[in-house]
Amino acid sequence: MVRCAFLGRWQGRFTSSEKTAVLTSLIRQSLALLLAALISGCSSLYFYPLKPWLQNPANLGVDYQDVVLIHRDGTRITGWWLPASTPLQGTVYFLHGNAENISTHVVSVAWLPAQGYQVFLIDYRGYGLSDGEADLDGSMADIQGGLNWLHASGRLQSSPLIVFGQSLGASMAIWVLAQPQNRGKAACLIEEAGFADYREVVNAAMKRSWLLWPLRPVVVPLMDNRYAPATVVGQLAPMPLLIAHSREDLVIPFRQAEKLYQAARPPKEMLVLRGAHARGPEQPEVQEALLQFMRSQCR
């Protein structure tokens, strides 16, 4: 199996001739890697998983339970359940972005149990302690499996289910919730720092690298774009949708949020943030805005 990743920087001192040789070698290796990935239909360019957990919710003073979901093929998907510490207001199904794992993303939702919201968060296959290799098809199946488990487990306790996704997790959530079998399974969707089109995001990322820039005409058209959120976000209505995005986001351009908002149907809201990519919930004013949306729209 080809493992895909964009090139990082190199370190060390080189003479001019050595730099030229290293650069030539890197370009050749990059082309070989990317062509092999594209031939194999690779979608793992979207994923940068971290296997070890760096902390657990207890380090943040939050109670939690380990959850393991098992697919029919035996693939184990791990997650955490954070019980509400005040009277129950709702359940939040949290879907993290493309890098690291739930141990680093839990800070985005660790504040919710104190507000009366129980939280379920999973690591997609290939992340944390979950089995398998990360790809789009498998991750979509993992999100669907978590949604099915929430409804079958009895843990919702008749409370509204709020799906909250960040970055790649937000974009995958749009696709999953737009499927006909999932109509009515969530009370609302909060998407932060998501994007409208997979190819456009890859194109924007490659533009930031002088080494990858010239490869865009070859790579971008062949990237997996079957799950482009902009093609299905209109099907979420009448479920309320909140699109939150920072104008200062250097990872996913704000224009992607505007495209999603334009493609979505009412009821929909746009929350314009400040600061870095997918860091909104760390700000008290953003927490308050999210709570206001959940209490007024997610029933």
Can you state the angle between helices 136-153 and 168-177, rounded to 10 degrees? 60
Residue type for position 202: V
Asked whether 13 and 53 are in contact (CB, 8 A), the reply is no
Distance CA 193, CA 257 (A): 7
Over its length of 299 residues, how does the chain's per-residue pLDDT go in tens digits? 333 433 333 334 445 555 455 555 555 555 545 544 543 445 556 889 999 999 999 999 999 999 999 999 999 999 999 999 999 999 999 999 999 999 999 999 999 999 999 999 999 999 999 999 999 999 999 999 999 999 999 999 999 999 999 999 999 999 999 999 999 999 999 999 999 999 888 888 888 878 878 888 888 887 888 999 999 999 999 999 999 999 999 999 999 999 999 999 999 999 999 999 999 999 999 999 999 999 999 99
Q: Of 136, 148, 145, 143, whose CA–CA distance to 164 is shortest?
A: 143
Q: Where are the domains of the chain?
A: 48-207+227-297
41, 68, 69, 77, 92 from 129: Cα distances, Å: 25, 10, 12, 8, 21
CATH number of 48-207+227-297: 3.40.50.1820
DSSP-derived 3-state class of residue 58: helix
